[in-house]
Structure formats: structure tokens, C-alpha cells
Structure 1
Amino acid sequence: MSRPTDVQQVTAFWRELGLPGLVDVHTHFMPEPVMTRVWEYFDAVGPLTGQSWPITYRMGEEQRLDRIRAFGVRAFTAMVYPHKPAMADRLNSWAADFAARTADCLHTATFYPEPEAPSYVPRAIAAGAQIFKAHLQVGGYDPNDPLLDDVWGTLRDNGTPIVIHCGHSPVAGAHTGPRPVTRLLERFPGLRLVIAHMGHPDYPAFLDLADRHPDVRLDTTMAFTDFAERDAPFPYEERHRLRDLGDRILFGSDYPNIPYAYDHALHALARLDLGDDWLRAVCHDNAAKMFVLP
């Protein structure tokens, strides 16, 4: 008997929970030249990490959209991020157009520490941006750069969530780890940060951060999967904290840039054995509430 397809596995997962589908807060849709360069990075990251990173869903944009919709993902993001100046505003223009022609995409935007950022971030919000992405590793910047002070203030005042890749995975950067983000939240309490990848590999430190800051959330992107557990497993003694923070954990997948099938991310959550109510909240309800989905 053949193994069920990834689509069958995913849809069975949320139907058995009685959900109307999934909400995935960490997916990547980008201009095709940028996506190609991202895939080239992952093709080369194996020698750096000692673990190859094949892109499971390396396909055209329309095929990627068809597949994520077939999974039953009700809403997803288009996480874009710059690695140099004069790039973020162009990415925001592309992401605004993508959201306009993709009704189930949560309008996503980004920024970079540059003099223009305090102008284009409010412009992106006015255009309908619902969530931002900050990537400290790829961008190579300190979130406490003074050029970003007005940006953080604007995002805090608007209550706009920011998915922030601030952990050391897959390769540590000059400004990754809990310390820069701890300082950022001390300076801008109330920021609605969503810690990407649960802060992998520094899980306890980022859980501590969430304990201290009630507006901080964490996304499950790649965490708890066999891929992530191999080198930096989630500490078993910290598992009860996932239940305690169950209303502030959001499902994320990193689709399409994952080295395994989409359903594995869901089954990795299920095997934590935190209960169906926890799974329903993480895989759908928390994000549906955040983004006021019907």
C-alpha cells in the first residue's frame, strides 16, 4: 500500500482536530530572482552546517501556491528580507502586489537599517501590511541600530507583529542570539515580536524572554523536526513551558524552503504530546485571532 501523499497527510491532520484548515505565519514567497538566490544559499549551506538542505518544494510560484492551498492553509505570509541597503522598499512593493493578487496571503513587509526606513515602513503599513519580517542573520545588522529606532516605535505603536529571525541557526551571525533582542525589548517594551524558529537553538533563553514580555510570541518553524532535533534538541525539561505559553505559539513551516515534507512539521508538533487543544491553538486559532480571520 502506498504512503499517503503530503497533501493527504496534512489535510487529515487538521480535519482530525476539527479545524477549518491551518494558518502558517512563516512562509516565503519572493521575486523569482531573489528566491533563486535563497535556494542557492541553502544548496551551499550543507558544508557549513554538516547537514544537507534539499529544497523539498523547489517549483514555480503558481505550483507552490497550488500546493499550499491543497494543504488547506487558510492564510500564509510572503516573508521577504533584504541583505543590503536600497532593497527593502523594492521588496515591499513586490510583496504588496503579491498580496493584492493573492487573497489568502497576509500582506508582508520588511525593512533594513537605512535612512529611508522610517519613511517606507509607515508607507507599507498604510498600504495594508499586516506583518513584517526582520532577518538579523541574513541582514547582518543589530536590531538596536539607531537607524531603526523610529521603525520599532512605529511598529510598536501600530501593534504590528514582526517575525524576527534572531537565533543562531542555521549559522550564527554577528547579531544573532538572545542578547540583542533582549536589549531591543528593554528599549521598546510592547513590541509584538514573533521569535522565528522558537529561537533555535537557544530555546530556554527565548522562552524566558516570552515570560518577561507578554506581547512576544514564538513560531514553530522547523523546531521539533528531526532536522532540528539532530544537533540541538528541544530540552525535555522545558516542554511544560510550551503548554504554559500555548496561546502565544504560532505554527510556521518555512515553506517552500524545507528539507522534508510539509506534514512532518505538523507531526513533529503532535509528538510533543501536549494535547489537541494545544495543537488547535498553535496550528490555527492563535494566528486566526491575531489576524482577525473569520
Structure 2
Amino acid sequence: MPAVSAIPEVAADEAYLAAFRQRLGLPGLVDVHTHFMPHRVLRKVWAYFDDIGPMTGRPWPITYRADESVRLETLRRFGLRAFTALVYPHRPEMAAWLNEWTAEFAEQVPECLHTATFFPEPTAADYVRTALERGAQVFKAHIQVGAYDPRDPLLDPVWGMLSDAGVPTVIHCGSGPAPGVFTGPGPVAEVLDRHPRLPLIVAHMGMPEYTEFLDLADRFTGVALDTTMAFTDFAEIDVPFPAADRQRLVDVGDRIMFGSDFPNIPYPYRHAFQALERLELGDEWLRRVCYRNAAERFGLA
């Protein structure tokens, strides 16, 4: 695996992000959508992205494919004050041991928010309760990969606990890059109807159902969105953000948080910030999205 200096984009990323932080007067950046996971699991994720090109007709090169230590040092050089270790199970009897791994990872990596996950199974309430007792700060749910219904009765006590604890879940529930049986705003809206205070961070701005997930944010004050891949050249080719909804990004600007999908992105890390800048929504909006909203959410301010 390459060293940090051997990843071609890192030096340019570092210079751009240093200037970006200085211009906005930010002490650092927060990325709520980064992936750190056991190596054998990450290897399978990378294999999926290596194969997605033949499936979609568009290559998906992983720009920051490197050893874990290199990836950590890369984010530190970028000025990240906090980031996540988003893991997600695709079958039963997987989430609990992933939570053990992420708990140990968070102990070893002070910048990493203690991340956990779950799956609809009889033991879910027990291991989610354990994760909360151990200090989990954020959870991850991947409706597309897990191919499960968020309305599953086995998850109802989980949503209730997370609502009561006020601990957010980064949830991939939009239908991109490919729709799943239970993706889209409908199932999540029903969960929110049952748990209206549930804090959710909708991944990828709900791509491609941007408008519908902004509607959910209007209805439920606990719903936030992360910017992962949205507005980038890569996403705009197939699923452009609706121009008619641009003002709504300002209206809900206190509930949008920067996310990247690092390391599994097919372009330089800095491009995600450049894509936000070219929205021309103002420096204060950028300050909130790239740092302050998440810093307040996770007690970093």
C-alpha cells in the first residue's frame, strides 16, 4: 500500500484545505461520513467498487486505497478534527462484532467518533444498548446494502433507544447509486412518524431523492443530511441536485454536515469542498456545513 506522500492527490488536497480553513477561520474540519472497518471487510467493500464499473458502465477508482495508518495520517494532514468509522452489516450476527471493533478503534484513535451499527435481528436491542452504554456517539444504517426494512419490528426498540438517547444515525436510505427494495423516503418517513424525535443524518443528501428528503427535514427537526458525494462532478452527471431546491439548502443550513465517503471516492478529497464552494451559498453556510454543525452535534465546539 502507498505511503501518504505516494498518494498523488494528498499534497494538493492538503494545500487547498489549509487555505480553505484559514479563509473561513475554522479550527479544523469534521467529516461525518468516513469508513474505517476491519481489513477483511474493507477488502470486500473495495472489491465491490472495483466491480461496480462493469455493472454501471462508469469506473469507480478508489483514490485513497492505502493501509489504515496511511489513511489516518492522510485525514490528519487534511485538518480533520473528527471523523467516523462507518461500518455496516449485510447479514445477521455481524453487527455486534463490528461494534466491538469500532469501540476499540475509537479508543485508539482520538479523532474518531465512537461509531456503531445494527441489523434487524433479535439481539439488536441488546447490543445497541451495550454500545450506548460504552459511549457510542453515532450509528450507521445502510438500508441498501443490508437490504432490510427500517420499519422491521425488530428495529422498533432500537429506534426508540436512539431517539431517547439523542444519538444520531447516519442512514443510507436514498436510492443511489442503485435502488433497493426498501430505499427511498417512504419507509424512513414511517419510522419517523413512530419516532418523531429520532435524530437521523441522511447520507448523500438522500440522493437521488433530494427533494423528498429535504421535505422530511422540513417535517422532522431531528433530520439532518450529509453532503457525501452530492454536488460533485461525479454525481452531477447522473443525479444533479435540483436547481429549484438550492435555496432550501440555506433554509436547512444548520442541519447539513460535511461527508465525503473517504477513502472510497473516485476523485480528490478537496473536490468535495470545491463542489460546496461553487454552490455560492456564502462563507457562513460553509462554516456551518464543514465544521460547526457537526462540532455542535458531537460536542466538539
Relative to the length of structure 2, the TM-score reads 0.96
Give the corresponding residue for 2:137: 130
1:206 to 192, 213, 216: 213
* CA distance in structure 2 between the aligned counterparts of 1:210 and 1:263, rounded to whole angstroms: 27
Indicate how the Cα distance of structure 1 residues 144 and 13 shifts in structure 2: closer, same or farther if over 3 A, else same.
Answer: same
Change in Cα spacing, 1:199 to 1:3, as seen in structure 2 (3 Å) is closer
User: Percent same amino acid at aligned positions?
Assistant: 62
1:183 matches 2:203:
no
Give the gaps of 5 or more residues in structure 2. 1-8
3-state secondary structure, aligned to 1:5: helix
**Separation (CA, whole Å) in 1 of partners of 2:10 and 2:193:** 49
Aligned equivalent of 1:231, options 222, 230, 238: 238
Letter in 2 for 1:104: E
| C-alpha deviation, 1:9, in angstroms | 1.3
2:201 alignment partner, SS class: strand
CA distance in structure 2 between the aligned counterparts of 1:173 and 1:149, rounded to whole angstroms: 21
Question: Does residue 37 of structure 2 align to residue 30 of structure 1?
Answer: yes
Which residue matches 1:219?
226
Please, which runs of 5 or more residues in structure 1 have no aligned partner?
Answer: none
Query: 2:157 aligns to what SS in structure 1?
Result: helix
Report the Cα offset of residue 3 of structure 1.
11
The correspondence for 2:103, drawn from 85, 92, 96, is 96
Task: Output the amino acid matched with 2:116.
Answer: A
Is contact 2:10-2:74 (8 Å) kept?
no
**2:12 aligned residue:** 5
Contact 1:161 1:193 in 2 (8 A): yes
Checking the alignment, whether the CA contact within 8 Å between 1:194 and 1:216 is kept in structure 2 is yes
1:108–1:131 Cα contact (<8 Å) kept = yes
> What RMSD, in angstroms, separates the aligned Cα atoms of the two structures?
1.2
Counterpart selection for 1:18 from 8, 25, 31 = 25
CA displacement 1:108-128 (0-9 Å, x = unmatched): 000000000010001001111
- The separation in 2 between residues aligned to 1:265 and 1:30, in whole angstroms, is 22
- Contact persistence 1:15–1:21 (CA under 8 A): no
Code of the aligned partner of 2:63: T
Match of residue 247 from structure 1: 254
1:49/1:171 contact within 8 Å kept: no
Aligned length: 293
Q: CA deviation at 1:51?
A: 1.5
In structure 1, give the amino acid aligned to 2:148: Y
Q: Which of 272, 282, 285 matches 1:265?
A: 272
8 A contact 1:10–1:262 mirrored in 2 = no
Q: CA deviation at 1:52?
A: 1.1
Give the drift of 1:23: 0.5
Kindly state the Cα deviation for residue 228 of structure 1 after the two structures are TM-superposed: 0.5
Shift of 1:4: 6.2
TM-score normalised by structure 1 residue count: 0.98
Q: Secondary structure at the residue paired with 1:134?
A: strand
Question: Helix, strand or coil: the match of 2:26?
Answer: coil
Deviation for aligned residue 1:47 = 2.4
Give 2:5's aligned residue.
none
Deviations 1:203-259 (A, max 9, x none): 000000100001100000000000110001001111000000000000000000000
Amino acid at match of 1:289: E
Cα separation, 1, equivalents of 2:50 and 2:124: 31
CA distance in 1, matches of 2:207, 2:18: 27
CA offset at residue 149 of structure 1? 0.7
Distance across 1 between alignment mates of 2:141 and 2:10 = 38
CA distance in 1 between counterparts of 2:90 and 2:247 reads 37
**Per the alignment, in what secondary structure is the counterpart of residue 164 of structure 1?**
strand
